[in-house]
Amino acid sequence: MANLVGTALMNLLYRSPFNPKSTDNPDDALVDLVEGPDALPRRRALDLGCGHGRHSIYLARQGWDVTGIDIVGHAVATARAKAAEAGVSPRLIAGDVTELTQLGVTGGHSLIVDAGCFHGLPSRIRQRYVTAVTGAASPGATLLMLGLARHPVIKGVTADELRQRFRGWELVRAVSVAGDEMLRYGDGSPLLRRAFEKGWFDPWRYQLRRA
């Protein structure tokens, strides 16, 4: 099961002023994948680190079969309430994203969304995440990841690390995300807002494809 110390740390970070308060707006890149000119077929999606459910709810509204997972229990409870209010029923689970099999999450997911989960994992369990995600992904699946390259507390994530860790995946795209775009997805303390405006955290969006 999830390490108790790690779970406690994630709960503290979730309430930290350095953690953006999520809005209900889906990321632009996800909207493009789902509604754009080259939209993906509506199949099964996995939302890792789903938080308050903005992406799980959005995908469910678009007709996807969605499972959202977050280790922070009160965030999942909020996501469930928001989903009910929106009239959709994504499967929302409080649990460890590195233990998908134990949570009953099997393969066949053609879209996997990670908007700030992997970049907060300690190094010692990152390969477990890769193994779990690869097992849950269908051939040709898309992994859309948003992560910070710099942060005062968490490790962050870079394109070089993804290339090294995600064997059997292709890094299709790595794009720097401007601060004004990040601020549309979440807000927080004045210090955090200034950090995003100045680009201090160096946010990036990565798109990977499973071979």
For tokens 């955090």, the residue is: 192
In contact, 187 and 20? CB cutoff 8 Å: yes
Residues 145-160 have pLDDT tens digits of 999 887 767 788 999 9
Residue 202: predicted pLDDT: 87
**Residue 184 CB-density burial (10 A; 0-12 exposed, 13-18 middle, 19+ buried):** exposed
Residue 1: predicted pLDDT: 41
Question: What are the Cα distances from residue 188, in Å, to 13, 61, 155, 196, 210?
Answer: 13, 27, 20, 10, 34
Q: Is the pLDDT of residue 58 over 50?
A: yes
Q: Is the pLDDT of residue 61 over 90?
A: yes
Residue 150: predicted pLDDT: 78
CATH number for region 4-15+25-210? 3.40.50.150
Residue 196: predicted pLDDT: 67
pTM: 0.87
Query: In terms of pLDDT, which residue wins out, 69 or 8?
Result: 69
Percentage of the chain beyond pLDDT 70 is: 80
Residue 164: predicted pLDDT: 97
In contact, 155 and 174? CB cutoff 8 Å: no
> For the chain, what is the mean pLDDT?
88
Query: In terms of pLDDT, which residue wins out, 14 or 130?
Result: 130
CA dihedral 114, 29, 20, 88 (to 10 degrees): -70
Residue 2: predicted pLDDT: 45
Residues 185-209 have pLDDT tens digits of 666 666 666 766 776 788 899 999 9
Instruction: Parse the chain into domains and list their residue ranges.
Output: 4-15+25-210
In contact, 175 and 205? CB cutoff 8 Å: yes
Residues 4-57 have pLDDT tens digits of 545 545 555 555 555 556 678 899 999 999 999 999 999 999 999 999 999 999
